Amino acid sequence: MADKKTAAGSQEFTGWKAVLWPIYSIELRKFLPMAFMLMCIVFNYSVLRGMKDSLVVTYMGAEAIPTLKLWFVLPSAVLFMLAYSKLSNKFSKNTVFYMVTSFFMAYFALFATVLYPFNSLLTIDFSWVKSEFLKSLLVPVGGWVFSSFYVMAELWGSAMVSLMFWRFANDVTSLKESKRFYSMFGFIANGALLFSGTILNTVKDIYVINLIAIVFCMLVICIYYWLNTRVLVDPKFFNPDEVKRPKKKVKLSLGESLRYIISSKYLGFIVLLVVCYGVSINLVEVMWKGQAKLLYPTDAEFRGFMGNLQIWTGGATMLFMLLGTNILRRCSWFASAMVTPAMFFVTGIIFFGCIIFKDVLAQYVSGIGLTALGVITSVGLFQNVLGKGVKYSLFDATKEMSYIPLDDELKSKGKAAVDVIGGRAGKSGGAAIQFLLLNVLFVGTSLVQLAPLIAGIFVLILLLWFFAVSGLSKEFAKLTAEQRN
Task: Look at the pTM and tell me if it is higher than 0.85.
Answer: no
Of the CA atoms within 13 Å of residue 270, those in its CB half-sphere come to 31
As a whole number, the mean pLDDT across the chain is 82
Q: Where are the domains of the chain?
A: 23-484
pLDDT at residue 469 in the model = 95
Q: Does residue 52 contact residue 145 with C-beta atoms inside 8 Å?
A: no
pLDDT at residue 260 in the model = 60
Rounded CA-CA distance 89/93 in Å is: 9
pLDDT at residue 426 in the model = 74
pLDDT in tens, the chain (485 residues): 344 344 444 456 656 666 567 788 888 899 999 999 999 999 999 889 888 888 888 788 777 888 888 888 888 888 888 888 889 889 998 999 999 999 999 999 999 999 999 988 998 888 777 776 787 788 888 889 999 999 999 899 888 987 899 889 888 887 778 778 877 787 788 778 778 888 888 887 888 888 999 999 999 999 999 999 999 888 777 766 655 444 444 444 556 556 666 777 888 898 889 889 989 988 998 888 888 888 888 777 887 888 888 888 878 877 887 777 778 778 888 999 999 999 999 999 999 999 999 989 888 888 888 889 999 999 999 998 898 888 877 888 888 888 878 877 677 667 766 765 666 667 678 878 888 887 778 777 777 888 899 999 999 999 999 999 999 999 888 887 776 66
Count other Cβ atoms within 10 Å, centred on residue 52: 22
Task: Give the burial class of 103: count Cβ atoms within 10 A of its Cβ; 0-12 exposed, 13-18 middle, 19 or more buried.
Answer: middle
pLDDT at residue 14 in the model = 59
Rounded CA-CA distance 133/138 in Å is: 9
pLDDT at residue 454 in the model = 92
Rounded CA-CA distance 431/141 in Å is: 17
Q: Does residue 2 contact residue 13 with C-beta atoms inside 8 Å?
A: yes
pLDDT at residue 133 in the model = 73
pLDDT at residue 71 in the model = 86
Rounded (10°) CA dihedral 181, 183, 185, 189? -170
pLDDT at residue 95 in the model = 95
Rounded CA-CA distance 454/348 in Å is: 11
Torsion sign, CA atoms 193, 198, 201, 206: negative
Q: Does residue 239 contact residue 89 with C-beta atoms inside 8 Å?
A: no
- For 245-332, where are the alpha helices, taking DSSP H only? 254-262, 265-295, 299-330
pLDDT at residue 2 in the model = 40
Residues 6 or more apart from 233 whose CB is under 8 A from it? none
Residues 6 or more apart from 49 whose CB is under 8 A from it? 153, 157, 306
Rounded CA-CA distance 374/259 in Å is: 49
pLDDT at residue 248 in the model = 43
**CA distances in angstroms from 467 to 205, 401, 404, listed in the order given:** 46, 19, 22
Rounded CA-CA distance 314/189 in Å is: 9
Please state which CATH number belongs to domain 23-484: 1.20.1250.20
Report pLDDT digits (tens) over 358-413.
989 888 888 888 889 999 999 999 998 898 888 877 888 888 888 878 877 677 66
Rounded CA-CA distance 272/422 in Å is: 8
**CA distances in angstroms from 169 to 9, 39, 166, 360, listed in the order given:** 21, 14, 5, 49
Task: Give the burial class of 21: count Cβ atoms within 10 A of its Cβ; 0-12 exposed, 13-18 middle, 19 or more buried.
Answer: middle
pLDDT at residue 236 in the model = 79
